[in-house]
A and B are shown apart, each in its own frame.
Chain A
């Protein structure tokens, strides 16, 4: 065990390291960006872009999700453990959905 004053110093440092307070300025910026992206995705849905319509809508949704996760949910300022957990979760999710969809969409391959 280290001396009490060492331990105090350590815990204060750790405390500050883990409790990064995100300033309101960032929250306001993210809010406005999310509202702009919402307007953009609604606007894009009024234009006929053929197969690009769903691609654009989902790309904008993914961008909005990333902004919410990084800033509102503080992942940008979180520990490596949290970052790894979120990243691994997203990766597993994409593998599960991607494999399932590629199975269904290729069952009748070449038979239409």
Chain B
């Protein structure tokens, strides 16, 4: 680490006196450096789009095949938790965008404030998700050996959900078994999304310490900016998960 810094320093003294201290020696200008980093971040996000795209495609195909199972299984989700989490994530995207703005304006206090807010909202999202997962675990709606199709063979055995969806008919055994695919995809998609949130929250924690040490408020905002792109991307995944899992099968 210290070796490379010496080299950069030497090169900078040779020809480029005007270089900013955070400009790497292999870039002509700082603008070129931030463009290249931004481009790289977008390429990474596109691989993420393709990754989640596979899950979304699988969901749409199975929903089309086993439509009655997917409709009744999705009635197990509580639209209020889903809506609350959508609002939490959208607000956290806003606080993250304000964090990027604070870094650009070199406002250290505001940057730390918005990063902490984003961190808390991220935890709130995971907290709500935990409540939802806990309910699925209690009802044995987690795919596996203990998976129970009772709620779908006999909807009135699940009074809370049945009261909200009185038109739900008992499913034939074969179709009821396919609800397990719905929950498999539900856990795969929201679980992958939650994993991205956990990684994001860990990086946010690191950034809060670095921001307090003035790392992002001296003109070099690339890290905050690119993390912002990641956080907004995770928000966009949820923007699609919410209608697909919670909303479109209500009738």
Contact = CB atoms under 8 A, between A and B. Distances in A.
Nearest to B19: A11
Interface residues of B, number: 51
Given A11-B29, A11-B31, A86-B42, A68 B236 contact: yes
Contacts of A105: 64
Contact of A73 (B56, B98, B232): B232
Tell me the interface secondary structure of chain B in the complex. Answer: helix
Contacts of B30: 11, 15
B236 A89 contact: no
B38 A78 contact: yes
B250 A53 contact: yes
Contacts of A31: 90-91, 93-94
A19 B34 CA distance: 9
B159 interface: no
Contact of A64 (B29, B35, B101, B239): B239
A86 B105 CA distance: 26
A73 B101 contact: no
Interface residues of A, number: 57
B248 A18 contact: no
A64 B235 CA distance: 10
Contacts of A41: 242-243, 247
Given A42-B83, A60-B243, A61-B239, 19 more contacts: A11-B30, A14-B31, A17-B31, A18-B34, A21-B105, A27-B97, A27-B101, A30-B97, A35-B87, A45-B250, A54-B243, A61-B243, A82-B38, A85-B39, A85-B42, A89-B49, A90-B49, A93-B53, A96-B50
Interface of B: 18, 29-31, 34-35, 38-39, 42-43, 45-46, 49-50, 53, 56-57, 60-61, 64, 79, 83, 86-87, 90-91, 93-94, 96-98, 101, 104-105, 225, 228-229, 232-233, 235-236, 239-240, 242-244, 246-248, 250-251
